[in-house]
Structures are given as C-alpha cells and as structure tokens.
Structure 1
Amino acid sequence: MQEIHAGECGEHQGMKRLYRQLLSFGYYWPTMKKDAHDFVRKCHTCQIHANLSHKPPTLLQDMRTPWPFHTWGLDLIGTIHPPSDGYIWILTATEYFTKWVEAVPLRKATGAAVSNFIREYIVCRFGIPYKMVTDNGTPFVNKQVSSTLNGYGIKHRRSTPYYPQGNGQAEATNKTILRILSKMVYEYKGNWSIHLPDALWAYRTSPRGATGFSPYSLVYGSDAISPVEITIPTARVSTVNDLEWDAKSCSDWRVLDLEAADERRIEAERKMALYHRTTAQAYNRTVKPQAFKQGDLVLKVAEHVRRQISGPSKFAPQWEGPFAVKEVHGSGYYHLISVKEGTLADPINGKWLKPYYC
C-alpha cells in the first residue's frame, strides 16, 4: 500500500481508488478495504494537502442582548488605500440592540487610540456597557485596552483571528459602512474621511433589517429630520413650522415620543428574535458538527489560506500541524500547542481545524 499510494509513481489517491488499484494488481486480503481506508486517512501528506471544508462546524450563536447599550462590538477596517489625509484605518463600534454605530478614522491602530475611543465615544456618550466583543488583534489585546476595560468593569469577549463571523455584528456593520462610503466617494469625490460622518448619518437613520427600525429612533425615541424634509417639507415639518407651540405642548409631545420609544424597543426585540431564529435555522442546516476535546490531535488551516494571501509556493500545503488541543472554550475556539515544537499557537476557531490521524 505504501508503494502504490506514496511511491515514486503513487498519486496519493483516495481510499476507494487505492482499494481498486490493489484489486487490479491482483492483491486481496479480508481486511483490505478497511486497511486501505485507515492507510489513506493516516497519510500525513494527504492530510496537509486536503481541500478545505466550507461547512461550519458549530451552530450559530445567538448574540442578542437584553437592553440597549449592553454590548458593543469593536472592529477595524483597514488598511485602506489610498489614504485619506493620512488616515488608513476606521475604528468602528456597533451596539448590539439598537445597531447604533460609532466610527472614527485613524492614522495608526494602537491600543491608546482604541482606549480613547472607548472612553470618549462609548462610555461618555452611552454609559458603561456590560460587555465588549473584539477580535484578538494587537490593537484590542494590550495593556492599555485591558486597563481601560477593567477600570470600567467591562467584560471583554474575544473572537479568533481570521474568523470575522466570531464578531459577526461588527463585521456586518463594516461591510455596510464600506458600501455606503464607496458610493459616496464615487458620487461626490473627495477623501473618504470627509464622507465618513455622512455615511454614519445614513446608516443610523435607515431602518435595519433585524429590528425594522432605524438605530436613531431606537436611541432617541423619534426619527431624525432628514435634509430632504427641509427641501420638500413633510407633514411633521410643516405642522411644526405652521403651529405655535407652548412649553407644555412640547413637553407632552416629548413624553409621548419617549413612551413610544419603549414600544419600539419591545417591537424591535420581538423582530430581532424572529430574525435570529430564521437566520439560525438556515445557517444550522449547513453545519457539519465537529468538536474537539483536550488532548486531541488536529491540523489547522495554513495562515496564508486563512488570510487569503499568496502562499510561500504554489505547492504549499493548505494545512499545518499536527497540534494538540490544550484548552477548549465554549464559544467554539481552541488553544493549541505544536506537537513537534511544543510552542503555543494563537487561539483559533474550530472552523479552521480538522482531526489529525496518525
């Protein structure tokens, strides 16, 4: 089997083809089919050059939050070329309940910039959240950010590198902001950093699919007045301009707005539950369950494949390893240790792992 499968003329064929070749050469023994299966499955060369599975290994996690400003997802867009006034990054924060977004352009993605952003754009505007979700990138995992989060008592949940679905809300926001920005830059020209506030305005005042309401209305209790309503007055703008309002009337209307805000949030929560249930059902149908326990041997997808960059060679393996599972985390990611070198690898989502047979 070694010579036929991996010899000078061997093609590292699959189990069925190896079995048929053995038969065609006139070989046979009672356990030959099982032996061919085990031999191919344990071939190191075949394992590290195998194709990637595109089926998710775990069920979709429900990331809904119980109230506004409970959880924020932070992420970076970049590096962006060409730069805009020296800015090459956009730091974004998405609130999980209302879908409100804060974003700033950055010249450097540093821990200091992230810490200042958390304090100025989140804590000072919306209060201290319960939790923040980021990836494991250096701008988010450092002493400055840890000190800021610990100082406010904010829990830090980290997703794994090169698996943006682990911070899916922030990733979805990034795609939308980039799409809006790209259209604005194309339509109105100019540096993208100039259009970022307009892109945020457009995002905040448009109804989101998951909630059915705009983030602005869920935060402030009423819809924002848009520029077009000034040019072509709508009923609410005309009414305000034509009538004289006393302080009590204004106060009464504002109370009604705030009461309506609670109703909107309850309705948004109901719609989000339905949205997540529908999405999860569709997603979970594609899941190929796969879980590892401490001590299991695994291969991980090569870094150049995960990052979708050019590999060291056209013939480079798509998988690296073997590694042993050192720690198992409930959110679907693992800490690995190299079997050969004994070094600890970065945490990785189970999507990028497969069993190793030896």
Structure 2
Amino acid sequence: MDEPDFVVLPSNPEEAKKVQKRAARFTILNDELYKRGYSQPYLRCVEGEEDKYVLEEVHGGICRDHIGAKSLVRKIMRTGYFWLIMQQDAADFVKKCDSCQRFGIPRTIISDNDRQFNSQKFRSFCSGLGIKNRYSSPSHPHANGQTEVTNRTLLKIIKSRLVGAKGTWPEELPSVLWAYRTTAGTPTGETPFSLTYGTKAFIPVEVGLTSLRREFFDEQTNDDQLKQNLDCLDEVRDQASQRMTKYQ
C-alpha cells in the first residue's frame, strides 16, 4: 500500500480534529497500513477485494464454521485484520449465506439432567416430533452445560458444511474440528487450540493475506515464545475456567 504524499483534511475544524485524532491510531509497517488495536497490538487494514476474501475464507473457506456476524468479526480481529465497516459487512455477508439460513428439526437432543429436560412431558413432546433424547453423565454435573454447547456447535458446523453433500461427513469432520478449535468460545474467551497448546493457530486466511505475525515471523523468537506460553498455560486455563464459571 503506497503512502500518500499528503492528506487533505476537512475544512471544518471540528471534523479535521476528529480525523487527526483517529489517524493517530494508524501506522505504516512494511508498506502496509495497520491500526493500533485494543484486542491486538496491530490490525492489518484491508479494503476492496481483500476484505471480501477475508470474510469468505474465515466464514466459508477450508476451515469454515458458518458462525454468526459478531463471532465472525471477533475471529477476524483475533486473526489480525480490520476495516472500517467490518461489522456491517459481516452482518450482510451472513444474511446472504444460504447455509446459515437453513433450519430444521433435530434428530437428537443432548441435554443435562435438569427437570425441564428429564420429564415425561418433555420426552413426549420430543417423541411426537421424532426426536431422540440423550442425557449427559450425572457424575460430572459441571460439565453438563459445556458438553451440550460443544455438541450443539459441532452439529451446527457439520450441518452447514453438508448441504448438498450427504454422506460425506467423515471427510468433513477434520475440517469441522479445526474450525471449532480455532474459534474463541464466549464463556472462556479462548480457543480450544490455545487452551491446549498455549498459542493461537495459524489459519488459512493468514497465508492468503499475510498477517502481522506471519510478516514478522522469526523461528528462534517464535520457539522461545512458545516455550514461555507453555510455562504460563496453567494460569491461562485457570482464568478461562473462572470466566466460564461466571458466565454460567
């Protein structure tokens, strides 16, 4: 991205002041424009075909999981990209996605053992719709809710990917799991991958459109940082567990 020779400010003093204030949060690194972020140190600014590519790759690419607009924006920013109207663009993109508009009656419901789910009235209601009831183990009551959320998320991703390709779910499963493991969960604020390995995973969009950490990658520095992250991983997991407890 070429840096302009000059910037024309609005003639209105108040508007010019706003532009100057906003401009202070942007910088040029290796001829690319970045925004100094709050969630990430630097967010690469994209525009035109680039932001369209980011939306398509994160939402419906190789590791697609067809998440909602807010989750889509959050995942894009965690990956290191930004543009001015990304929230509106994400909302419009999700609305136009055919796979995200399909709804139907589930074959099986996996729930915890609370009375509202484990009652004759509820079981009769499900039976009338041809829905099978499954219940998580009562020996792990704290895991009931998280198990239900995880299963529901995985089933949603699998269904969205199998539109028009029935019977191929074994081939799709690795990509589905990868999409789930690289998406931050609302209760924990972390991705399953980062809670396992102590670092964020590279996702395909960062290869197609170079992210900041790929641009400045250094193998030795990266190895040292990975080891440090692993040393601090127990603390990160404890914090995620506390956030999940508060969320529930």
User: How would you bin the TM-score normalised by the shorter chain?
Assistant: 0.3 to 0.5
The structure whose residues are more often strand, as a share, is 1
Normalising to structure 1: TM-score of the pair? 0.29
Higher helix content, 1 or 2: 2
